[in-house]
Structures are given as structure tokens and as C-alpha cells.
């Protein structure tokens, strides 16, 4: 409370003094009521242990800018009694928007606003606060231009200036002397004591009424019940004109307060090793600001200064925020007369220190590196608009620049992870030398492209440019979408154009690796079907795995190559397998007694993942696909084993559960060798066991090398 109280009072006065110095007392009351209501209400809903909410600099800056805009408007002279309901309505709409953000799950989205925009906005707020407080520090007459006042020492109220300088010095030096007393309190005490020390030489400083150097009497317009009734009446007078006037400032305020709160929550999580719930916290802050509106208080957010003091002092539950709110009410009830004597110069000094700490001075380091100069320009643009126009216009610039930054980052990141011809990325189907020779010659007609990131209007032109040569000269284009995050209508239209151009040359556009419904936030396949891109018989082909697409392309090329392909119906015998190479006929005949035969139909499983077995399988005729199961019914194709190959060797070695499914690609005949039977056989002739295991090791090593090639392709950067 001791940290939140001075700044809350200062922010309230900062806003209301724009209406005239006589409104300073009402501003102090608004700041106190805001701190009390936020403390009493927000913790009950947000439940973030240790978080303290109070009026803050962004709220003061936005409301001050609103007053300045209204006063400088074309409507002519507007009195304070007309402006005050507009301030209240801005607080109300902002609070309702915060609640809406939380209900709709916007807490996570707000955290993704680029820090460049946040930094520029907060630095702009800091400069606006500083420029607004320098006249109060020097005591310039109202309406005096800043430069004119600084150049005219005769206009300075040296007593207020002295109090402000002492306050700033005490605030800055206090942390070096003590950690137990908050620096803001040390600064405020220093300023008050210096003010009364000056009063020993100037008795006029001890006069409260009409004294421009102090806050003055803190007063509310009637009781709390009267204030609630007045705010309710103000709601009944809301019309479209007033709502339109305050809507943009209210949006700006709601976003800034939400960012300020969530930024504090992230820092608090690091201290307490907890994790806040952003949507719930926004609802809590919105309800706190709603309560503040009903009693005529200032809006606010979760603030870092009071929160750090609270946590370091042992405040580790949401009850700490409630206790802080209660203490503010007690201070208002019993210390109102004391607060009235707080010097304006002391509050100006505190606000100038806050502005100095809020201004992001590290941004100038961005100029030292070419990568950071664009970010610096973004920050500078937001600050410039905030100073030259207003904070509301700066919010629009900030949002536009946020979109620009997103598009820039997406374009610079690139959407093509890897691109290569089919001849360099063949399928995992083992083919004979004649087929491999044909595919080496014509394989360049197929192109595989692995995509990543977001396919939207900002990246599709880049994608088309990088694929233009292939689209113009190749027959087949296979796009792997495993790493794609989103697809928009612009990207779908581009795919349509690519597909039409490939079809003109008898080719096809294909997709593979569609994200599964369980893992993907967007069901791409359903979306593309609804837009007609995947129409049966006349659309883009979708393959479950990349290898399925590679096999299909290879088959199309082999069909059109003129190669005569003779299907091998002959079953291999034991001596045809490398596992038993160089064994004599007698050894093979005795070994055959421990081997069984098995036949499976096309599509039938030889074994399933998680199945416990000790058997290794040798393909005599046909083929078997090895598939690794994935979520949502998807799978990853590891390898296709054709005649002469073997599979299942890992379980044969370690007796463990299978990690994949084995599915016959056609009618297939197998030899089956179990480890238990082989162990019994090899006891009689250990040399045979050694030779078989040595050849198994070679087969496994060959498989690992093939996996290395696949991993290298996937991980290329």
C-alpha cells in the first residue's frame, strides 16, 4: 500500500489537473478509490498469488490525452462537468472490454503483441508524463508553453522546484541506503519534510486553502452510495455520439492495461515459480476496473513495483491484494487530512522518476546492429506519433506496425524448408537395377518441397517465386505440410493455379503430411475439401505420408518410361538371403528345421506395434511396409521391404515389444525365425550363431545409415 498510494494519488492528480488546479483534490480521491477497488475486487477473480493492482501510468496517459483531445476539439468550450462523465464512460467501456477479452480467450493473444510496439508505446507514455510534469515541477502558470517557461526563471516557483528535486534525489538514492522502505515512500517523505522545512521561513506555505503547491482538501461528491447513483445516472445518458467519442480511447486503454497486467504476471511467475491464468486475470482486472468506475475511481492494472515489494515481504497469496485494498481505505478514512498536505512538486518528482524508469533506454542499442535498426524505427514511429498526435493515434500506428512486423518476420523466415528432385529423394521401396536406372534418368520430373510456417497472403508470392521454375518445367510437385501452421484463401488460390499448370503437362500437384486433427489447430484437409481443391478425380492428391507420394510418382514415371516390368512370382529359398550366405547345403537343411513359413494377404498385418515377439521375418515373395503409428490414426512410413529383405530384427535381439506395424503390400510369403528356436539350434553349433548375428549387425547398420540420410534431409537448414 505504501508503494501504490503515492503513485495512485499522483496519477489521479495528473489526469484531473488537466481540468484545472482546483480538481487536484478530486484527482487524488479518484486515485485512492481506484487503488482500493482494484485491490479489493481483482484478487478474488484473478487469483494470482502476490499480484497487486493499482492505477498506473498508461491509464493516466490515455485519460489525459482524452481530456486534451476534447478540450482541443471543434465543439467549442466544454466544461469539466461534461468531461467527467466521458472519463467515467471510458473507464466503463475499457473494463467491459477487458472482461470480454478474458471470456473470449484473448489473454494469450494480447501477450503476442510485439515488444517493439509495447516498448514504443510505454516510452511514449513516459515522455508524455515527463512533459506534463515538468511544468508542475517548476510551477509554471497554466497555459505557459514549456519552452517559454524554461526560458523564464521569473515564472518558476522555486519552493515547488526545490521540493521536487529533493523528492527525486531521495527516490533514486533510497534503494542504496535501505531495502526495507520503498523508494517512493522515501522520496515522498523527503519531499514533505523539505516542504515543511521551507515553511519555517515562509509561513504562507502553511495555508491549505488556495495553496497551489499542495494537493488540497481531498473530497468526494457525496457518499459512496451517492457516487454509485451518479454513475448509474450517467449510464442512462449514454448515446451514440458519446460512445463513439470514447470507444477508441477505451480500446486503447483496455489493451494497454491488459498488456501491463500480463507483463507483470509473467515477471511474477518467474519469482514465485507459478503460472498465471491470463484469461482469468483479465476478467479479474476488468471487474476491478468496473468496481472502480462505480465509485468514481481511476482504472488500473497489475503493477510491478507494489507487486515486487509485496512478494519480497512475504505476500504469497491473493489475500495480499485484498489486504492492500483495505489499507488504502483505512488511509483514505484516517489520513485524508495528511494527504491533503502532500506537495504537488513531490508528486511531480515521483512521476518523473517513474517516467525515467519506464522509458526504454536500451532501444538505442538496436542502432548498433543492422538487424535491430528496423525495430528501432518501429519504436521511434510509435513514440513520435504519441508525442506529435496523441496516444490514441499511436495505438493505431502500433497495431498497423504489429501486422507489418508479423508479415516481415514471416517473409524473412521463408516457407520452404527443403526442396529437391525425386532422383535425390527416392522412396523407401527397394527396386531392381533397371527401375533405379530409369528413375535416375527421369526422376528430375518430380520435385519434393517441404514447407513450414504460415501460408498466407504475405508468403504466397515468395513461395510462387521460389517454385516458378519447377512449375514451368516439371510434371509432379509434392508439397509436404507437416510443419505448416496455417493456410489462408490466398494460398489455396495459388495451389489451384499451380495444379492447373501441372495438369496441362500431364502432371499433378500433391500434398502429404496433413497435420492430424488431434495435433493441429486447423483441419487443413477439411478446409481444402470445402474449397473444392481436393475434388475426387479432378483435384490435388493427398497422401498420408511423404513416402506414399514418392512411390506414386515413381510408379507414374515407370509406367510412361516404356520399361517392361515382369512381376517375380518365384519364392526365394534360404540360400538366397544374405543372412545365410555361404552356409553349405547341409547346414541350411538343418537350420530349416527351426524356421517356419507364413503367408499373408495384401493389407494383412504381419505384426502390430506393442506386440511382444522374438521373431525375425525374411520376405520370400511380395513386400511389407513398416509403419510407425502416430496420433489420430496417422502413421510414418519407415521402409518397404521387398523379396530378399528382412524385418523385425530388433525384437529378435532384445525380446522387446514391436515399435511399428508391418503390413503386406501384396500377397506375401515369409520365412519366420524365432530367437528361442534359433538359440536351441545354435547351442549345437555356436559358430553358426556368431555368423548369423554378425550379418544381422550389418543389416541393422545399413538400416541406420538409411535413417541418417532421411534425418539429414529433414534437418537441412
Look up residue 315 and give its three cell numbers.
505476500
Residue 60: in which H helix or E strand, if any? helix 57-71
- By C-alpha distance, which of 126, 124, 133, 184 is closest to 17? 133
Binning pLDDT at 50, 70 and 90, where does residue 269 land?
confident
Report whether pLDDT(521) > 70: no
Q: What is the mean pLDDT of residues 477-497?
A: 91
Report whether pLDDT(73) > 80: no
Q: What integer pLDDT is reported at residue 519 of this predicted model?
A: 42
Binning pLDDT at 50, 70 and 90, where does residue 520 land?
very low
**HSE-up (13 A, CA, CB side) for residue 632:** 10
Look up residue 175 and give its three cell numbers.
534503494
Domain that holds residue 38: 4-359
421, 545: one domain: yes
More confidently predicted of 359 and 401: 359
- By C-alpha distance, which of 359, 406, 113, 87 is closest to 258? 113
**Which range has the worst mean pLDDT, 177-191, 217-231, 336-350, 403-417?**
217-231
Does residue 215 lie within any of the structural domains? yes
Question: Rounded to an integer, what distance in angstroms lies between the CA atom of residue 29 and that of residue 290?
Answer: 17
Report whether pLDDT(522) > 60: no
Report whether pLDDT(408) > 50: yes
Q: What integer pLDDT is reported at residue 76 of this predicted model?
A: 53
522, 596: one domain: no
Q: What integer pLDDT is reported at residue 118 of this predicted model?
A: 77
Instruction: Count each helix (H run) and each strand (E run) in the chain, helices first.
Output: 27, 15
Does residue 408 lie within any of the structural domains? no
Final residue belonging to a domain, choices 560, 586, 606: 560
CATH number, domain with residue 681: 2.60.120.10
* Total domains in the fold of the chain: 3
Locate all alpha helices (DSSP H) within 575-643, ordered by sequence. Answer: 585-591
Q: What integer pLDDT is reported at residue 245 of this predicted model?
A: 85
CATH number, domain with residue 524: 3.30.750.24
Does residue 370 lie within any of the structural domains? no
Q: What integer pLDDT is reported at residue 710 of this predicted model?
A: 66
Does residue 406 lie within any of the structural domains? no
330, 418: one domain: no
639 contacts 706 by C-beta, under 8 angstroms: yes
Does residue 380 lie within any of the structural domains? no
421-427: long-range contacts at Cβ-Cβ below 8 A with a sequence spacing of 24 or more?
421/446, 421/447, 421/448, 422/446, 422/447, 422/448, 422/476, 422/550, 422/553, 422/554, 422/557, 425/550, 425/713, 426/550, 426/554, 427/547, 427/550, 427/551, 427/554, 427/640
Final residue belonging to a domain, choices 508, 526, 560: 560
Does residue 58 lie within any of the structural domains? yes
Question: Rounded to an integer, what distance in angstroms lies between the CA atom of residue 182 and that of residue 34?
Answer: 21
Distance of CA 713 to the CA centre of its chain: 29
235, 257: one domain: yes
530, 589: one domain: no
299, 351: one domain: yes
**Which range has the worst mean pLDDT, 273-287, 391-405, 499-513?**
391-405
551, 597: one domain: no
Q: What is the mean pLDDT of residues 494-505?
A: 92
Binning pLDDT at 50, 70 and 90, where does residue 192 land?
very high
346, 438: one domain: no
Final residue belonging to a domain, choices 323, 344, 359: 359
Look up residue 671 and give its three cell numbers.
520365412
For the chain, how far is it from start to end, CA to CA, in angstroms? 53
Q: What integer pLDDT is reported at residue 221 of this predicted model?
A: 61
Does residue 404 lie within any of the structural domains? no
307, 171: one domain: yes
234, 155: one domain: yes
589 contacts 633 by C-beta, under 8 angstroms: no
Cβ atoms < 10 Å from Cβ of 297 = 27
Report whether pLDDT(225) > 70: no
The chain-wide mean pLDDT, for the chain, equals 85
Q: b/e map of 333-345 (b: 16 or more CB within 10 Å)?
A: eeebeebbbbbbb
pLDDT digits (tens, 9 = 90+) for 311-359: 867 788 899 999 999 999 998 888 888 888 889 899 889 889 988 988 9
540, 601: one domain: no
256, 145: one domain: yes
State the DSSP code for 612.
B
Does residue 365 lie within any of the structural domains? no
Amino acid at each position: 500500500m505504501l508503494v501504490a498510494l503515492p503513485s495512485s494519488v499522483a496519477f489521479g492528480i495528473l489526469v484531473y489537473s488537466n481540468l484545472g488546479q482546483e480538481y487536484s483534490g478530486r484527482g487524488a480521491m479518484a486515485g485512492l478509490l481506484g487503488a482500493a477497488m482494484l485491490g479489493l475486487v481483482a484478487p478474488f477473480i484473478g487469483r494470482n498469488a502476490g499480484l497487486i493492482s493499482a492505477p498506473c501510468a498508461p491509464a493516466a496517459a490515455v485519460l489525459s490525452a482524452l481530456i486534451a483531445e476534447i478540450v482541443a476539439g471543434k465543439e467549442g468550450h466544454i466544461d469539466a462537468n461534461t468531461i467527467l462523465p466521458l472519463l467515467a464512460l471510458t473507464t466503463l467501456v475499457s473494463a467491459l472490454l477487458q472482461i470480454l477479452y478474458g471470456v473470449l480467450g484473448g489473454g494469450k493473444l494480447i501477450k503476442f503483441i510485439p515488444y517493439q510496439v509495447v516498448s514504443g508505446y510505454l516510452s511514449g507514455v513516459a515522455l508524455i508524463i515527463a512533459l506534463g510534469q515538468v511544468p508542475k515541477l517548476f510551477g509554471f502558470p497554466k497555459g505557459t508553453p514549456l519552452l517559454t517557461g524554461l526560458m523564464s526563471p521569473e515564472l518558476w516557483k522555486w519552493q515547488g522546484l526545490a521540493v521536487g528535486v529533493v523528492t527525486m534525489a531521495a527516490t533514486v538514492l533510497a534503494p542504496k541506503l535501505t531495502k526495507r522502505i520503498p523508494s517512493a515512500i522515501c522520496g515522498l517523505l523527503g519531499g514533505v519534510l523539505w516542504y515543511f522545512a521551507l515553511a519555517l521561513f515562509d509561513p504562507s506555505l502553511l495555508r491549505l486553502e488556495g495553496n497551489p503547491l499542495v494537493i488540497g482538501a481531498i473530497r468526494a461528491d457525496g457518499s459512496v452510495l451517492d457516487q454509485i447513483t451518479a454513475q448509474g445516472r450517467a449510464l442512462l445518458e449514454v448515446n451514440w455520439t458519446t460512445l463513439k467519442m470514447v470507444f477508441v480511447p477505451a480500446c486503447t486503454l483496455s489493451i494497454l492495461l491488459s498488456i501491463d497486467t500480463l507483463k507483470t504476471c509473467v515477471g511474477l511467475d518467474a519469482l514465485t515459480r507459478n503460472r498465471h491464468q491470463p484469461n482469468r486475470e483479465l476478467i479479474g482486472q476488468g471487474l476491478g476496473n468496473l468496481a472502480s468506475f462505480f465509485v468514481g475511481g481511476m482504472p488500473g492494472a497489475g503493477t510491478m513495483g507494489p507487486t515486487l515489494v509485496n512478494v519480497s515481504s512475504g505476500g504469497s497469496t491473493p489475500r495480499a491484494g485484498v489486504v492492500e485494498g483495505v489499507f488504502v481505505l483505512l488511509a483514505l478514512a484516517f489520513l485524508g487530512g495528511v494527504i491533503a498536505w502532500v506537495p504537488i512538486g513531490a508528486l511531480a518528482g515521483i512521476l518523473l522518476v517513474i517516467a525515467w524508469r519506464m522509458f526504454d533506454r536500451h532501444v538505442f542499442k538496436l542502432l548498433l546492429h543492422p538487424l535491430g535498426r528496423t525495430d528501432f524505427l518501429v519504436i521511434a514511429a510509435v513514440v513520435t506519433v504519441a508525442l506529435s498526435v496523441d496516444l490514441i493515434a499511436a495505438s493505431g500506428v502500433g497495431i498497423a506496425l504489429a501486422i507489418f512486423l508479423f508479415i516481415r518476420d514471416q517473409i524473412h523466415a521463408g516457407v520452404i524448408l527443403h526442396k529437391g528432385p525425386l532422383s535425390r529423394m527416392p522412396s523407401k521401396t527397394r527396386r531392381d537395377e533397371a527401375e533405379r536406372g530409369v528413375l535416375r534418368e527421369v526422376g528430375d520430373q518430380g520435385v519434393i518441397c517441404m514447407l513450414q510456417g504460415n501460408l498466407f497472403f504475405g508468403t504466397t508470392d515468395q513461395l510462387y517465386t521460389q517454385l516458378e521454375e519447377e512449375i514451368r518445367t516439371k510434371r509432379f510437385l509434392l508439397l509436404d505440410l507437416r510443419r505448416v501452421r496455417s493456410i489462408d484463401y490466398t494460398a489455396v488460390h495459388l495451389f489451384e493455379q499451380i495444379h492447373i499448370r501441372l495438369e496441362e503437362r500431364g502432371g499433378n500437384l500433391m500434398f502429404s503430411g496433413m497435420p492430424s486433427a488431434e495435433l493441429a489447430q486447423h483441419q487443413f484437409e477439411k478446409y481444402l475439401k470445402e474449397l473444392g481443391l481436393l475434388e475426387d478425380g479432378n483435384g490435388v492428391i493427398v497422401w498420408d505420408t511423404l513416402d506414399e507420394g514418392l512411390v506414386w510418382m515413381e510408379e507414374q514415371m515407370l509406367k510412361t518410361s516404356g520399361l517392361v516390368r515382369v512381376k517375380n512370382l518365384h519364392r526365394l529359398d534360404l540360400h538366397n538371403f544374405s543372412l545365410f550366405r555361404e552356409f553349405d547345403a547341409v547346414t541350411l537343411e538343418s537350420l530349416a528345421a527351426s524356421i517356419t513359413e507364413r503367408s499373408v494377404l495384401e493389407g494383412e498385418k504381419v505384426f502390430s506395434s506393442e506386440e511382444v515377439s522374438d521373431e525375425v521375418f525374411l520376405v520370400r515373395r511380395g513386400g511389407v511396409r513398416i509403419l510407425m503409428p502416430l496420433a489420430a490414426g496417422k502413421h510414418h512410413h519407415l521402409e518397404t521391404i521387398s523379396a530378399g529383405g528382412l524385418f523385425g530384427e530388433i525384437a529378435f535381439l532384445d525380446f522387446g515389444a514391436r515399435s511399428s506395424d508391418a503390413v503386406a503390400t501384396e500377397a506375401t510369403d515369409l520365412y519366420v525365425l524365432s530367437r528361442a528356436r534359433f538359440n536351441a539350434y545354435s547351442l549345437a553349433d555356436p559358430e553358426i550363431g556368431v555368423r548369423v548375428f554378425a550379418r544381422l549387425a550389418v543389416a541393422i547398420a545399413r538400416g541406420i545409415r538409411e535413417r541418417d540420410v532421411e534425418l539429414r534431409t529433414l534437418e537441412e537448414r
